[in-house]
Structure 1
Amino acid sequence: MTTKDNHTDSLGAVREAIFEKNQLFAAAMAKGDAAGVAACYTIDAEFMAGGAPSVQGRANIQAAIAGYISQGFTEYAVTATIVYADSGIVGVQEAYTLSQKGGANKDIGKSIQLWKKEEGSWKIFRDCFNSDLTV
């Protein structure tokens, strides 16, 4: 993992907090818990999925995530490849896989997430991702 640090917090601590939140995100997806996934986002977050309009706010993000879950997409894995930190915002470049239970209809892609602290916890503020697969 590459890191770019211009942040006042310990970059190692920030990376660990983001890793832990990503684990919570994946666990909530595995349980089909859209509210649990949405709790990983800030109140004012924006969710920018490929092939769909952006949605703003935790409640709308929860509805979008519920759509993925209703289609059986509950297996999620992510690997942070680069972490940038500056002035209270952390950027993370990632590679992801998302598949239906049992590995069917697997999507592989990349994402950029911006994270910020909300009520003492790092949460996703902006989430933009797209598939490496052709349409």
Structure 2
Amino acid sequence: MNKLFFFILVAAASALLSSCTDHSPRSEEAKQAIAESNAIYFQAFVKNDSSIFINRHAEDACIMAPNAPLMCGRTEAAKFFRAAYDNYGMRNGKFITTNVYGNGAEFVTEEGIWQSLDANGTLFDEGKFLVLWKKTKDGWKMYRDSFSSNRNLKQSTKR
């Protein structure tokens, strides 16, 4: 009886885990587009070019930053970029995608961790994120960007 229970448990866990990751051609296309966009994203801060940042987002995108109101649309994305660059000293960073969920038909969700670097290449903040990506006429774009720091507010703003 214990062997049967163990077999059923392992089979159920395997089925659950395999259902979490979609390897369809559409989801693979989305994963590749996300990786390409993420590779470009921080160049906006390296070059102080908000257009690179804004173009990573859909026209109707919303940035859902911690301790801040919802910021939707390209004008708000530009304001977010300026604040990150001017007020926080963001000059580079890194995304590490840990998973992508969805079948890639219209939306996929990216989960991961991020790091923010200043002009000296020093890590000044880090955290986790969820991004809902939307397939648009211009390709895959960030549609909802939600993130939070792993540091408390006093640590994050000390420089």
Q: Select 1:110's aligned residue among 121, 124, 128.
A: 128
Which structure is higher in helix share? 2
Q: Is the 8 A contact 2:115 2:123 kept in 1?
A: no
State the Cα RMSD in Å: 1.9
Q: Which residue of 2 aligns with 1:75?
A: 92
Partner SS, residue 120 of structure 2: helix
Equivalent position of 1:34 in the other structure? 50
CA displacement, residues 43-99 of structure 1 (integer Å, 9 cap, x when unaligned) = 000001112111110111111111111132121100110101144101000100012
Matched, 1:133 2:157: no
Q: Which residue of structure 2 aligns with residue 61 of structure 1? A: 77
Equivalent in the alignment of 1:4: 21
Greater Cα offset, 101-110 or 117-126? 101-110
Paired-residue identity, %:
26
Unaligned runs of 5+ residues in structure 2 are 1-17, 154-159
Alignment of 1:82-97 (within 5 A): 82-86=99-103, 87-97=105-115
Higher normalized strand content (fraction of residues): 1
Bigger RCO of structures 1 and 2 (CA < 8 A, at least 6 apart)? 1
Number of corresponding residues: 133
Q: Which residue of structure 1 lines up, in the alignment, with residue 37 of structure 2?
A: 21
Structure 1 gaps, min length 5? none
1:44 maps to which of 52, 60, 63: 60
Amino acid at match of 1:113: V
Distance 1:103 1:38 in 2: 23
1:133 aligns to what SS in structure 2?
coil
Which is higher, the Rg of structure 1 or of structure 2?
A: 2
Alignment partners' CA distance in 2, 1:98 and 1:65: 13
Contact 1:110 1:132 in 2 (8 A): yes
- The runs of at least 4 consecutive aligned structure 1 residues that moved more than 4 Å come to none
Give yes or no for contact 1:34–1:69 (8 Å, CA) kept in 2.
Answer: no
TM-score by length of 2: 0.76
* TM-score, normalised via structure 1 length: 0.89
